[in-house]
Amino acid sequence: MKEEIKLIEKNNTWELVHPKNKDIIGVKWIYKIKLNSDGSLNKCKARLVAKGYTQQAGIDYNETYAPVARLDTIRTVVALVAQKNWKISQ
């Protein structure tokens, strides 16, 4: 957990603000154990996530948005990558 907090602070992942007349979303730690192929411990990971499921529509927010790339944009990028012989990853 300490390493995760250090990385969050180092990368300026968030900015501490004091909201006026707003409810604060809680957070939760998620833990995961990564194992080697032989079953031995590789590393333990910790992730800090916001509990967005506690928000109520119309009270905490009015609309939602999920950015989605258009299919023709994805095809164009993949074609450009192939043409330029670039590496691509998801």
Cβ(28)–Cβ(41) under 8 Å? no
Looking at residue 86, its pLDDT comes to 95
Looking at residue 27, its pLDDT comes to 92
pLDDT beneath 70: ranges in the chain? none
Cβ(30)–Cβ(47) under 8 Å? yes
Give this prediction's pTM: 0.51
Looking at residue 40, its pLDDT comes to 95
Looking at residue 78, its pLDDT comes to 94
Looking at residue 31, its pLDDT comes to 94
Cα three-residue angle 8-4-37, rounded to 5 degrees:
135
Rounded to the nearest integer, the mean pLDDT of the chain is 89
